[in-house]
């Protein structure tokens, strides 16, 4: 498999079974407002726990995707390029990474999670935070803590994330 083959080119629709596949990983299409509406339906005091569970799940499952991308020739900056080029093909907005010593930053324009949730006083892009954790651990070669520092659902022009080593002095 070529490192330059796009996600869209790798995606296979099995109409007989009603499934989308990228190798052994199954995908589904769901509207962002339907997904994020789950959290709006929860009592406010339960949303944080549900958002955290979603982020952890995406970290675990996203690590499988990130390992596959790494196997396509995506080490370090190459992995970041593959993830950034795949995100818009998944409908996850436009991603731009910045790798700095001991830190990975991500800016996401047009987050479907912020748009799907609507106005909020707290960051809501937990799926992106989860994927950032999976990718950050591979790129920084250690467990990371990811914080969404700006969210379009809160009125920011875009969503911003920082991943830092979990054992570092700046970890939150």
Read off the CATH number of the domain in which 134 is found.
3.30.1380.20
Q: Which domain holds residue 161?
A: 31-165
22 inside domain: no
> Residues 110, 103: contact at Cβ < 8 Å?
no
42 inside domain: yes
Whole-model pTM: value is: 0.88
78 falls in which pLDDT band (50, 70, 90)? confident
Q: Report the pLDDT averaged over residues 137-158.
A: 97
pLDDT digits (tens, 9 = 90+) for 109-130: 999 999 999 999 999 999 999 9
pLDDT digits (tens, 9 = 90+) for 93-112: 999 999 999 999 999 999 99
> Residues 117, 124: contact at Cβ < 8 Å?
yes
> Residues 171, 145: contact at Cβ < 8 Å?
yes
**Pick from 96, 87, 92, 75: nearest CA to 140:** 75
18 inside domain: no
The phi-psi region of residue 80 (left if phi > 0; otherwise alpha if psi is between -120 and 50; otherwise beta) is alpha
2 inside domain: no
14 inside domain: no
153 inside domain: yes
Distance separating alpha carbons of residues 43 and 41, to the nearest angstrom: 7
pLDDT reported for residue 168:
65
**Pick from 83, 85, 90, 89: nearest CA to 138:** 83
Number of structural domains, the chain? 1
Distance separating alpha carbons of residues 54 and 58, to the nearest angstrom: 6
**Pick from 78, 69, 118, 119: nearest CA to 97:** 78
25 inside domain: no
60 inside domain: yes
């Amino acid at each position: 498999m070529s490192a330059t083959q796009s996600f869209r080119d790798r995606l296979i629709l099995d109409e007989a079974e009603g499934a989308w596949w990228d190798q052994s990983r199954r995908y589904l299409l769901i509207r962002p407002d339907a997904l994020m509406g789950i959290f709006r339906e929860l009592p406010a005091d339960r949303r944080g726990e549900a958002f955290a569970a979603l982020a952890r799940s995406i970290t675990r499952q996203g690590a499988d995707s990130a390992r596959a991308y790494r196997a396509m020739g995506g080490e370090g900056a190459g992995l970041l390029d593959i993830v950034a080029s795949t995100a818009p093909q998944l409908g996850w907005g436009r991603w731009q990474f910045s790798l700095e010593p001991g830190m990975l930053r991500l800016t996401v324009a047009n987050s479907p999670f912020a748009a799907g949730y609507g106005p909020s006083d707290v960051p809501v892009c937990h799926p992106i935070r989860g994927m950032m954790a999976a990718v950050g651990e591979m790129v920084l070669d250690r467990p990371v803590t990811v914080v969404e520092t700006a969210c379009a659902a809160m009125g920011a022009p875009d969503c911003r994330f920082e991943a830092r080593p979990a054992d570092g002095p700046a970890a939150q």
